[in-house]
Amino acid sequence: MTNLPRRDFIKQTGLLTGGLWLPGALADALGAPAPMRKIKLGVIGCGDRGTGLLKILQDLPDQFEVVAVCDELPFRLQNALKSAGHAKTYADYHALLDARAVEAVIIAVPLHLHFQVAKDALAAGKQVYLEKTMTYDIPQALELVRLAQQRPAQTLQVGHQYRYSPLYYRVKEMIKQGYLGKVTQIDCRWDRNGSWRRPVPEPGLERKINWRMYREYSGGLAAELLSHQMDFINWAFETHADEVFGTGGIDFYKDGRETYDNVQVMVRYAQEGMVGNFGATCGNARDGYLFKLKGTKGTISLLVDQGMYYPEQETRKQYGTVDGVTGATKITWNKDGGMAITTGAEPLKDGSWYSLRDFHQAIIERKVPDSNVLTGARAACTVHMANQAIYNHTIEKWRPEYNLA
């Protein structure tokens, strides 16, 4: 990054101002937004994530009308109707896909079913919002890319919602503009203190409800939590993992689960000269969600909805403060030497709200979403490499066939 006058620093970073170029803003900026219309939507999978998205859809009444919901478990369907109103219910997703009234689907089923349901939805001509991680393994990811590319008129968006958060979008721009300098270290955690189990009304439903505990169905903590941060690194640096090391174990909850309750993954991004550390535990919630990007000129520390910029000592000397008498905004540092990364006057919404709004725009404007089948495959490859490293005690390397375009 070149040396900038202090006023230009404030102006160009936008740290203390509200202006921000966001995904989906291009048509509006050109003065020719696509006509608004509601998309008739079906939701396949009404567990925690599916019902959570149904609630968020209530805040997008001009974009979507939920006309169908599907789940194998009757009590989940009844719960979904609290948010889906008069939507038609289905126990078999194939019947929902056959419904002509359904234009688009959200797929929020267990991970091992992502590929097959998405494949069937594409074949049925539907627009697809597929929850992360995109697929259970690498072969499925590569095949889904091939299938989606055969249907360019259909959208396939993957639910890595941080690609749409105004906060994370701003951080991506800061990285691109050089305010961190040369980034060499990335530290990520997503911790909790709890078993991750859901209550089971009868023993026969254990694997359907607690599928995250079993390796046949689940990618564990790497897929369910750390995939978000892995995907953001891919996006922000336009890169991918080159080498993945990992370890973990069932270190606390000796309850018959198969997926680990304590994992640590180290990723080497050779092209970027970076090391990424990604960890999650179910045995301590103190840190919760942490995301730190460390560069030669500064550090960004992120929560889900808050961000701080900490310049290195020499960087801070360069920018200092701005004399308020000149009319420029004064930089205010906190006691730790950091400055809040702001995104305008409006409070941040849930990241899925921005993601679903962009799904609507992608369909209407026939544009490729930021989180698409190619980027989803890159993240799915990383997660699968991480799990292979964790469970097999191997060093996993990126292969040329993962470079999809």
pLDDT score for 1: 40
Residue 356 lies in a domain: no
CATH code where residue 44 lies:
3.40.50.720
Which CATH number does the domain housing residue 391 bear?
3.30.360.10
- pLDDT, tens only, 237-289: 999 999 999 999 999 999 999 999 999 999 999 999 999 999 999 999 999 99
Side by side, which strands form the sheet with 339-340?
339-340, 307-311, 298-302, 289-295, 183-190, 274-281, 262-269, 243-249, 396-397
Question: What is the domain range of residue 85?
Answer: 26-162
Based on the fold, state whether residues 152 and 242 are members of the same structural domain: no
Helix (H, G, I), strand (E, B) or coil at 64: strand
- Is 314 found in the same domain as 197? yes
Residues 207 and 85 reside in one and the same domain = no
Is there a single domain that holds both residue 205 and residue 258? yes
Residue 11 lies in a domain: yes
Domain identity same for 74 and 220: no
**pLDDT tens figures, 13-51:** 455 444 343 444 433 433 445 567 999 999 999 999 999
pLDDT > 90: percent of the chain: 82
Residues 118 and 184 reside in one and the same domain: no
Among the candidates 109, 136, 162, a domain finishes at 162
- How many angstroms separate the first and last alpha carbons of the chain? 30
Give the Cα separation of 228 and 133 in Å (integer): 9
Q: Provide mean pLDDT across the span 323-348.
A: 67
Decide if 364 is inside a domain.
no
Q: What is the pLDDT of residues 57-86, one digit of tens each?
A: 999 999 999 999 999 999 999 999 999 989
- Is the pLDDT assigned to residue 89 strictly greater than 80? yes
Tokens describing residue 333: 């540092």
The total number of structural domains in the chain stands at 2
- Tens of pLDDT, residue by residue over 147-205, are 999 999 999 999 999 999 999 999 999 999 999 999 999 999 999 999 999 999 999 99
Instruction: Judge if 11 and 89 occupy the same domain.
Output: no
Query: What's residue 349's pLDDT?
Result: 94
Same domain, residue pair 206 and 318 = yes
What distance in Å separates the CA atoms of residue 351 and residue 389, rounded to the nearest whole number? 30
**Does one domain contain both 302 and 206?**
yes
Q: Are residues 99 and 204 in the same domain?
A: no
Residue 358: inside a domain, yes or no? no
Phi, psi of 259 (to 5 degrees): -80, 145
Query: Which residues, 6 or more positions from 143, have their beta carbon under 8 angstroms from its beta carbon?
Result: 115, 119
Contact 384, 402 (CB under 8 A): no
Task: Examine the fold and report which residue of 162, 194, 226 is the final residue of a domain before the chain moves on.
Answer: 162
pTM above 0.75, yes or no: yes
pLDDT of residue 35: 64
235 shares a domain with 112? no
- Clarify whether residues 13 and 32 are in a common domain: no
Q: pLDDT tens digit string along 293-334?
A: 999 999 999 999 999 999 998 888 876 654 333 334 455 667
**pLDDT attached to residue 337:** 79
Domain end point (choices 103, 136, 162): 162
Residues pairing with 311 in the sheet: 298
pLDDT value of position 320: 60
Domain assignment of residue 121, yes or no: yes
